[in-house]
Amino acid sequence: MFTIKLNPNLEMSTKTEKITLWVLGLSTLALFIFISVLDQPLKTVAAPNGIVSFELAGGIEQSQKILSSWDHQARLSAIQSLVADYMFLIAYSFFFAFLIWSLSKYFIEKRKDSLVKIGIILGWLQFVAAIFDSFENYFLLRIIFGSQNPAYPEYAFYFASLKFLIILLGLGYIVLGLVARFNSDKKVPE
Continuous segment of H or E residues that includes residue 31: helix 14-39
Side-chain half-sphere exposure of 171, counting CA atoms within 13 A: 8
Total domains present in the chain: 1
pLDDT of residue 43: 97
In a domain, 21, yes or no: yes
Which 3 state secondary structure label does DSSP give 71? coil
In a domain, 88, yes or no: yes
pLDDT of residue 2: 47
Q: Model's pTM, two decimal places? A: 0.88
In a domain, 4, yes or no: no
pLDDT of residue 13: 77
In a domain, 8, yes or no: no
In a domain, 3, yes or no: no
Containing domain of residue 130, as a range? 13-186
* Residue 162: other Cβ atoms inside 10 A: 18
**End-to-end CA gap in the chain:** 31
Mean pLDDT by 10 residues, the chain (190 residues): 61 84 96 97 96 95 96 96 97 96 81 84 96 98 95 97 98 92 65
